[in-house]
Amino acid sequence: MKKKIIAMAMLMTLALTSFAACGKSGAETNPDAKYKVGVCQLVQHAALDAATEGFTAALKDELGDEVTVEVQNASGDSATCATICNTFVSEGVDLIMGNATPALVSASQATATIPIVGTSITDYATALDISDWNGKTGINVTGASDLAPLDKQAELLKELFPDVKKVGIVYCTAEANSKYQSTEITKTLKSMGYEVTEFTFSDSNDIQSVVTNACSNSDVLYIPTDNQAAAATETINNVALAAKVPIICGEEGICEGCGVATLSISYYDMGYNAGKMAAKILKEGTDPSTMDIQYSSEFTKKYNAEICKELGITPPEGYVAIEPSEE
């Protein structure tokens, strides 16, 4: 009996250690804080990190020491998102922030009463499977979108590569919002006369082979705001650069890692706007079901100077060079 108790204790310790190792990425502890907010971030990469940073900054600016924020990172695993969100619910947090679609979906499945604010969500109707979309979710969820106008991204591709014929779109099938972006931009690209093919992967193990195939059958690639691709830009770049195939990206972080150009929003500003929404919910009791999803209004044409130089591409006037992120 004693051995069984010791074995169970060891298993519980290992389970807790494993969860802490893969999930926890930062926390502010203040036992006297009036509000506690839990942040579930799908994976660590530049765009999502910036969104979380902006969200936390806005909460602190609006609520100061009245709020404490706990950030958990799911390391790209949807099941871990569910574990994190269920833990937040059991802890009785006052609000959950879901950073990226799987995190938002996990939060919405974990609770129908605790307010949820999303960031880095392209299309909330797609993420939450809402058919009669009117700009509000109608449930305990609201937030900010990272959607840049897909028709403008298609125009950017045409501006840089007017003479190419084949465009390959690379994304992860596990991300509903990536599929949405691919479907929408394909309509525009085909109307411009391009031949468009999807090249999809199911997990990180497939990325190298899928990108290799895409490069062999495309003149230029397009990668939407896909979190799995964002976490694997080094792998993607190693393949595409060797094949001399340029990549247009849906956001700046992916472009910095493997692209030549993007039309992107500021993920920090998007996160900050979501943080202000969260503060309004906490301080004023605003019902998230009645709050319109917020969209960015400012977009910037940016280019990756290093990769453009490698491929002999000179962006026209009006493009801003991406400043390399600090390691």
Tens of pLDDT, residues 209-233: 999 999 999 999 999 999 899 999 9
pLDDT for 291 equals: 98
Is a pLDDT exceeding 70 seen at residue 15?
Answer: no
Domains 25-146+267-295 and 150-264+300-321 fall in the same CATH topology: yes
Q: What is the pLDDT of residues 69-109, one digit of tens each?
A: 999 999 989 999 999 999 999 999 999 999 999 999 999 99
Give the pLDDT score at 45. 87
pLDDT on residue 77: 92
> Which fold is adopted by the domain 150-264+300-321?
Rossmann fold (3.40.50)
Q: What 3 state SS string does the chain have?
A: CHHHHHHHHHHHHHHHHHHHHHHEEEECCCCCCCEEEEEEECCCCHHHHHHHHHHHHHHHHHHHHHEEEEEEECCCCHHHHHHHHHHHHHHCCCEEEEECHHHHHHHHHHCCCCCEEEEEECCHHHHHCCCCCCCCCCCCEEEEECCCCHHHHHHHHHHHCCCCCEEEEEEECCCHHHHHHHHHHHHHHHHCCCEEEEEEECCHHHHHHHHHHHHHCCCEEEECCCHHHHCCHHHHHHHHHHHCCCEEECCHHHHHHHCCEEEECCHHHHHHHHHHHHHHHHHHCCCHHHCCCEECCCCEEEECHHHHHHHCCCCCCCCEECCCCCC
pLDDT of residue 8: 42
What's the confidence (pLDDT) of residue 30?
A: 66
Residue 2 pLDDT class (50, 70, 90 cuts): very low
| Domain ranges for the chain | 25-146+267-295, 150-264+300-321
* CATH code of the region 25-146+267-295: 3.40.50.2300
Query: Does residue 36 surpass a pLDDT of 70?
Result: yes
Q: How confident is the model at residue 32 (pLDDT cuts 50, 70, 90)?
A: confident
pTM: 0.79
pLDDT for 265-296, tens place per residue?
899 999 999 999 999 999 999 999 999 999 99
